[in-house]
């Protein structure tokens, strides 16, 4: 039996620990790779100049997708605006839970798809959108829908879109730097006095190892953050509705529903309440778990059951 407040707090704490670890890892890795690059071209560098350059490039690329994230994603997913008469439950539930969470009512959209799923996006609560499929709206009752919408509104209230965008910028930074180093050692001629300095050779070796490993490690941490935010959104949803049973039974129904969502793809998968790409669950075990955007449904249900 976990108190819902404690559960929200502990999820926040754990997710900040992962985020802090992630930022430190990105800093160390990118400086090491940048030093390797500098060593390769034979000049002395603290590594910070190149890191800064890569950060700017990665930032600009991600900023565009971040600022326009809602329109881009809603465009991809082919959604229509929700309407109070047609989508009475969805509309009123979203209205009520925004009231409880103290948020402005987000823009509401419906995707015509029989798969059961929902997602939230937008850079801050004032520009947020929540989207649900017609399959979800048809198969859930009001209590279950409250659990799901509570989860999505918690993503909005916790600024998860903003957080994941920053994380994506940092993963992009490492990937860019690593790419530069690997490409130049592969194609380039290198500096004139490559073997003359032992220090440089060591930096180059460390840089190369980091260039190969750190994009993968960074992605694994990014997915760990994504999974932690899912647990946090589940707990915050229960904090709003005080009915874990609603979310539990909604998640169970979505677990039984085997249909993949046609509008979803790998780039938008982390936004949904359950993984929309259901057919990719072939590999089992701890290792494949590292590469999931969502924690397994059975774990989420177990945690929720401890709250009820």
Partner 1 sequence: MSLPLILIIIVAVVAFYVMGVYNSLVSLRTRIQASIQEIGNQLKRQAELIPNLETSAKAYLSHEKDILKMLSEARKMKDPSAKIAELLPKLQVVVESNPELKGADVITRLMDELRDTSDKVMYSRRLLIDITADYNIKLVTFPTSVVANTFGFKSEKGLEMPENSDFLKVTEQEIKTPKVNL
Q: Which residues bind partner 1 (CB under 8 A)?
A: 88-89, 92, 95-97, 99-102, 142, 239-240, 242
User: Can you tell me the distance from the alpha carbon of 138 to that of 146, in angstroms, rounded to the nearest whole number?
Assistant: 14
Residue partners of 173: CB distance under 8 A and separation at least 6: 26, 30, 51, 54, 55, 58
Could you confirm whether 152 is annotated as catalytic? Answer: yes
Beta bridge partners of 111: 79, 133
CA 15 to chain centre: 12
Q: Are strands 118-121 and 129-133 parallel, antiparallel or unpaired?
A: antiparallel
Catalytic residue (one of 146, 152, 230, 305):
152
Smaller CB separation from partner 1, 113 or 234: 234
Min dist. Cβ of residue 99 to partner 1 (A): 5
Min dist. Cβ of residue 6 to partner 1 (A): 13
Min dist. Cβ of residue 305 to partner 1 (A): 22
Smaller CB separation from partner 1, 97 or 208: 97
Smaller CB separation from partner 1, 97 or 233: 97
Q: How far is CA 300 from CA 208, 239, 247, in A?
A: 39, 15, 10
Min dist. Cβ of residue 93 to partner 1 (A): 8
Min dist. Cβ of residue 234 to partner 1 (A): 17
Min dist. Cβ of residue 100 to partner 1 (A): 4
Length of the chain: 308
Please work out, in degrees rounded to the nearest 5, the angle formed at the alpha carbon of residue 274 by the alpha carbons of 294 and 106. Answer: 110
DSSP assignment of 245-272, as one string?
HHHHHHHHHHHH--PPPTT--TTTGGGB
Smaller CB separation from partner 1, 13 or 266: 13
Kindly report the number of other CB atoms within 10 A of residue 70's CB atom.
20
Smaller CB separation from partner 1, 9 or 305: 9
Residue partners of 225: CB distance under 8 A and separation at least 6: 15, 18, 19, 22, 163, 164, 167
Q: How far is CA 178 from CA 49, 50, 133, in A?
A: 15, 11, 39
Q: Indicate left, alpha or beta for 130 from its phi (over 0: left) and psi (-120 to 50: alpha).
A: beta
Residue partners of 230: CB distance under 8 A and separation at least 6: 294, 295, 300
Smaller CB separation from partner 1, 83 or 95: 95
Catalytic residues, which ones?
A: 152
């Amino acid at each position: 039996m976990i108190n819902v407040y404690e559960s929200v707090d502990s999820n926040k704490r754990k997710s900040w620990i992962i985020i802090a670890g992630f930022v430190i890892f990105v800093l160390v890795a990118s400086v090491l790779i940048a030093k390797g690059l500098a060593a390769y071209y034979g000049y002395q560098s603290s590594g910070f100049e190149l890191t800064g350059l890569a950060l700017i490039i990665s930032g600009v690329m991600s900023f565009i997708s971040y600022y326009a994230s809602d329109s881009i994603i809603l465009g991809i997913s082919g959604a229509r605006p929700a309407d109070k008469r047609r989508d009475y439950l969805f509309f009123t539930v979203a209205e009520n839970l925004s009231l409880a969470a103290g948020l402005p009512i987000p823009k509401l959209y419906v995707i015509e798809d029989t798969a059961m799923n929902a997602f939230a996006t937008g850079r801050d609560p004032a520009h947020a959108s929540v989207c649900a499929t017609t399959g979800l709206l048809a198969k859930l009752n009001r209590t279950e829908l409250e659990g799901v919408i509570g989860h999505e509104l918690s993503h909005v209230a916790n600024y998860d879109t903003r957080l994941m965008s920053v994380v994506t910028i940092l993963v992009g930074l490492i990937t860019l730097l690593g790419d530069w180093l690997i490409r130049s050692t592969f194609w380039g001629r290198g500096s004139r006095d490559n073997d003359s300095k032992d220090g440089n050779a060591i930096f180059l070796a460390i840089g190369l190892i980091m260039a190969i490993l750190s994009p993968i490690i960074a992605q694994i941490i990014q997915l760990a953050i994504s999974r932690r935010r899912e647990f946090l959104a589940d707990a915050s949803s229960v904090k709003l509705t005080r009915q874990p049973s609603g979310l539990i039974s909604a998640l169970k129904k979505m677990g039984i529903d085997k249909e993949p969502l046609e509008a979803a793809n790998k780039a938008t998968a982390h936004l949904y309440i359950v993984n929309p790409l259901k057919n990719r669950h072939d590999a089992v075990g701890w290792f494949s778990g590292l590469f999931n955007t969502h924690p397994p449904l059975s774990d989420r249900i177990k945690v929720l059951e401890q709250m009820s």
